[in-house]
C-alpha cells in the first residue's frame, strides 16, 4: 500500500473532492479514483468523505493506493523505437495504429505489451495492472513520444511534472484551412461531450476543465496549414478538440473534423505527431529532451503539399 498526501490550497477551496483528486493524480484514471473513494482509501481530515465533498482550505487529504495485483497482460516481443532510456525512464516513438495500453478490443499488440517484454517487468505499478509504467498516453493514430516509468519513484516525479504543467510537449499537425495568424493561444475548457460520451468537447459545463494550447504556424498551403502545438495542459484529445473548435480540425480526424473527407486516400486517422518531450529527470534532476522524427507518411504529405501536385 502506497500513500500520497495533499493539502488543499486557498485556490482549491470549494472544489469537489473527486475533481481535485483527478488534478492531483493525473496518472490515475477517474474510474480508478472513484473506486478508491468508494472503498474508503481516501481520507480527508482523517474522515471518509463522498466524491462530492467540497474541500476547505487547509484540508489534509490522504490517498492510499493498494499494491498492484499480479499482472495478466502478456509481454510481447514487439520492436520499439527508443528515443531515450536509463534505469528510471524510457521514451519511445509510438507508431501509428498502436494502442498505448490494453482495453476492450485491444488485448495485445499494445505499447504496454511491448515494454513489458523490453523492460522484463521492471515498470511502475501505480497506474494499475493494465497500465504498468504508463504515466500519460497518446491516441492510437497519433504518433510520437511517450514516457514510460520503470519504478514508482520515477512515476510519481513525472506525474507531478505533468500536474504542474512543467513538461514541454510539442506536437506537429496538418490541419484543414489556412490559419491567418502566425501564433495564437486556444484557452477553452474541455469535458465530455454531453451528446456523445465517447467524445470530448469545448464546454463550460461543470465537467469542463481548463485546457490551453499554444499554436504556431510553420507553413501554409492551399487549403491546409502545418502547425506546431505546445500543450500547456494535457486533456483527452486536447489538440484535436481545440483545433476543431476554431474551424481548423486536424487532417484525417474521423471524430472531430465534422465529416470532412481527407483528400489523401491512404491516410488512416489524424495527422498528428508528438514530436518533442522535455522533462526533469526524476533522479538526477538533469533536463532530458527528446525529439521523435516525423513518420514517413507525414513527411510524404508535406512533400505533396509543398510541391503543389494534386493530392492523392
User: Tens place of pLDDT for every residue, the chain, 312 residues?
Assistant: 678 889 999 889 999 999 899 888 876 777 788 889 988 899 999 999 999 999 999 999 999 987 655 446 789 999 999 999 999 999 999 999 999 987 766 778 999 999 999 998 788 876 665 567 888 989 999 999 999 999 989 999 999 999 899 999 999 999 999 999 999 999 999 998 888 878 999 998 777 889 999 999 999 998 999 999 999 999 999 999 999 999 999 999 999 998 887 778 778 889 999 999 999 999 999 999 999 999 999 999 999 999 987 665
DSSP-derived pairing of the beta strands 272-280 and 143-149: parallel
Q: Number of H helices and number of E strands within the chain?
A: 6, 14
* Phi, psi (deg, nearest 5) at residue 35: -65, -45
* Phi, psi (deg, nearest 5) at residue 268: -110, 110
* Phi, psi (deg, nearest 5) at residue 71: -80, 135
Domains and CATH numbers, the chain: 2-65 (3.10.290.10), 82-163 (3.30.2350.10), 169-275+295-307 (3.30.2350.10)
Radius of gyration (Cα) for the chain, nearest Å?
Answer: 20
Which of 246, 259, 263 has the alpha carbon at shortest distance from 184? 246
Q: What is this structure's pTM? A: 0.76
Q: Rounded to whole angstroms, how far apart are CA atoms 129 and 292?
A: 28
Which of 66, 9, 59, 11 has the alpha carbon at shortest distance from 36? 66
The alpha carbon of 177 is separated from its chain's Cα centroid by a whole number of angstroms, namely: 25
Examine the residue annotation and report whether 139 is marked as an active-site residue of this protein.
yes
Which of 73, 236, 228, 241 has the alpha carbon at shortest distance from 139? 236
Catalytic residue among 27, 139, 141, 253: 139
Q: Rounded to whole angstroms, how far apart are CA atoms 183 and 24?
A: 31
Evaluated on CA atoms 20, 159, 187, 34, the torsion sign reads negative
Q: Rounded to whole angstroms, how far apart are CA atoms 225 and 218?
A: 8
Provide the terminal-to-terminal Cα distance of the chain, rounded to the nearest Å: 55
Q: Rounded to whole angstroms, how far apart are CA atoms 90 and 279?
A: 12
Amino acid at each position: 500500500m502506497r500513500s500520497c498526501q495533499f493539502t488543499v490550497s486557498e485556490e482549491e477551496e470549494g472544489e469537489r473532492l473527486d475533481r481535485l483528486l483527478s488534478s492531483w493524480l493525473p496518472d490515475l484514471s477517474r474510474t480508478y479514483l472513484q473506486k478508491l473513494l468508494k472503498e474508503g482509501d481516501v481520507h480527508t481530515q482523517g474522515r471518509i468523505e463522498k466524491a462530492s465533498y467540497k474541500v476547505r482550505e487547509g484540508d489534509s487529504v490522504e490517498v492510499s493506493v493498494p499494491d498492484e495485483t499480479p499482472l495478466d497482460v502478456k509481454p510481447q516481443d514487439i520492436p520499439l523505437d527508443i528515443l531515450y532510456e536509463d534505469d528510471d525512464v524510457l521514451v519511445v516513438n509510438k507508431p501509428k495504429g498502436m494502442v498505448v495500453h490494453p482495453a476492450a478490443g485491444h488485448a495485445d499488440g499494445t505499447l504496454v505489451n511491448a515494454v513489458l517484454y523490453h523492460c522484463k517487468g521492471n515498470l511502475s505499478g501505480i497506474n494499475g495492472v493494465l497500465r504498468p509504467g504508463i504515466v500519460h498516453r497518446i491516441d492510437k493514430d497519433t504518433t510520437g513520444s511517450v514516457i514510460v516509468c520503470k519504478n514508482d519513484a520515477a512515476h510519481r516525479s513525472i506525474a507531478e511534472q505533468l500536474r504542474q504543467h512543467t513538461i514541454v510537449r510539442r506536437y506537429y499537425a496538418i490541419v484543414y484551412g489556412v490559419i491567418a495568424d502566425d501564433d495564437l493561444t486556444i484557452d477553452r475548457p474541455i469535458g465530455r461531450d454531453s451528446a456523445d460520451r465517447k467524445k470530448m468537447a469545448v464546454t463550460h459545463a461543470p465537467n469542463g476543465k481548463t485546457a490551453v494550447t499554444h499554436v504556431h504556424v510553420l507553413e501554409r498551403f492551399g487549403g491546409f496549414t502545418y502547425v506546431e502545438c505546445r500543450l500547456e495542459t494535457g486533456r483527452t484529445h486536447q489538440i484535436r478538440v481545440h483545433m476543431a473548435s476554431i474551424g481548423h480540425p486536424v487532417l484525417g480526424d474521423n471524430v472531430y473534423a465534422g465529416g470532412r473527407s481527407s483528400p489523401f486516400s491512404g491516410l488512416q486517422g489524424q495527422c498528428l505527431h508528438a514530436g518533442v518531450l522535455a522533462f526533469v529527470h526524476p533522479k538526477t534532476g538533469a533536463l532530458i529532451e527528446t525529439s521523435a522524427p516525423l513518420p514517413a507518411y507525414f513527411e510524404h504529405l508535406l512533400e505533396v503539399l509543398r510541391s503543389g501536385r494534386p493530392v492523392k
